[in-house]
Amino acid sequence: MRYCKRCLNVSTRPNIKFDIEGLCYPCSVFVESFDFRKRAEKIIQVVKSKESRSHYDGILGVSGGKDSTRQAIFLKEKLGLNPLLVSLNYPPGQISNIGIRNLDNLVKLGFDCVNISLGPTTWADLMRFSFLNYGNWAKSTEHALFASVPKVALAKGIKIIWWGENPAILDGEMAVSGSEPWDGNRLKYNNTVSGGNVSWMNSAVKDYRKLKFYQYPTDGEISKGDIQIIFMDYLMQDFSYRTNSMVAAAHGFESRGPDLVNDGDFYGTSMLDEDFINVNMLLRYLKFGFGRASDIVNVEIRSGRLSREEGIRIVEKYDHVYDDKLIEEFSSFIGISVTEFWSVAKSFANPDLFTWDKHRFKRKFQIGIGT
Ligand SMILES: [Zn+2]
């Protein structure tokens, strides 16, 4: 494993690419500021070319979190548009109270929102299957999350889909790179959704009708619907955890607050709509050697607000942290024991990066340097 020369991005991140100078893709294409008016004109042209029978100016997938709150406000206030919001809700028992209040807040701000809730038994069965077979419980839920927005767009004849960040530019997930930096039509090729096919779920859920909402529309359906996904960070200056949190908070968004002992998100403003995602962040850390703190720190180093050395100190402190109580709750939610949880986690961990003593792991690599 090696690190980017500028930030703390790692070569083990799926689908990443480094240039000959040793910079990760996000660092090699980073621009501090850009001509907003010029870019906005370009995007408005795209929107005008995709006029539809709907009176909405596209669809924005939301969770009520900091990013979607900032995006909704941006479309309304900066571009003067009227998007339809679509939220795929976590089931009862998983969705958090903060998540519910933040979704309420978006409606209070004046947006129309379509809420989608999928059957909780299939949902939990798929989470369990994803965890046991891929070491990533969110593999199935991400399918539903990504698929729900184009499905509503096709059903309503809406041609524009707004999506927050370009994962290639934010993290280095090159599989989604389109023909233009704002073109998101390859979004479904990200590492988790991998094109959107759900046949792998058949072993967990036999009745294919229950998987309909997990299946991403085919390329043929997307092209027939004349759909264009637009990455909004092309238009938004400083699309960062910090700035998005501040803008959202100024519009009624509520955060969890930092938990500096049990949570790698040291700002306490990310992924608030449910808590088990922190378990997935631990699993990702064990597989690839980077956690939640690294994601935040990399953006801050690029923006110049943190030095690489300060970033290393933060990552050393927070990337590996997790909450034992949450692991108990997660194990109970998907119907396994805590012992089984750790045995699965260990089986997916990278032995080149970690050593184990019972269920406690120890990092073998040096942050900022590698293996
Ligand atoms: Zn970098």
pLDDT tens by residue, 190-249: 888 989 989 999 999 999 999 999 999 999 999 999 999 999 999 998 888 889 999 999
Structural element, H or E, at residue 354: strand 354-357
Residue 92 has pLDDT above 80, yes or no: yes
Q: What is the pLDDT of residue 74?
A: 96
Share of residues in the chain with pLDDT > 90 (%): 77
By the 8 A CB rule, do 59 and 86 touch? yes
Q: What is the mean pLDDT of residues 256-277?
A: 79
Selected residue with higher pLDDT from 53 and 129: 129
Kindly report the number of other CB atoms within 10 A of residue 58's CB atom: 23
CA atoms within 13 A on the CB side of 321: 17
Ligand 1 centroid – CA 192 distance (Å): 22
Q: What's the pLDDT band for 258 if we cut at 50, 70, 90?
A: confident
Q: For residue range 97-121, what is the model confidence (pLDDT) as tens digits?
A: 999 999 999 999 999 999 999 999 9
Ligand 1 centroid – CA 165 distance (Å): 16
Q: What is the pLDDT of residue 323?
A: 92
Q: What's the pLDDT band for 32 if we cut at 50, 70, 90?
A: confident
Ligand 1 centroid – CA 173 distance (Å): 12
Ligand 1 centroid – CA 302 distance (Å): 7
By the 8 A CB rule, do 160 and 228 touch? yes
By the 8 A CB rule, do 174 and 162 touch? no
Selected residue with higher pLDDT from 96 and 128: 128
Does the predicted model carry a pTM greater than 0.85?
yes
Ligand 1 centroid – CA 356 distance (Å): 29
Average pLDDT, the chain: 93
Q: Which residues contact 220 (CB under 8 A, 6 or more apart)?
A: none
Residue 267 has pLDDT above 80, yes or no: no
Ligand 1 centroid – CA 3 distance (Å): 8
Ligand 1 centroid – CA 300 distance (Å): 11
Q: What is the pLDDT of residue 171?
A: 82
Ligand 1 centroid – CA 170 distance (Å): 10
Ligand 1 centroid – CA 8 distance (Å): 6
Ligand 1 centroid – CA 234 distance (Å): 18
Tokens of 272: 């608030």
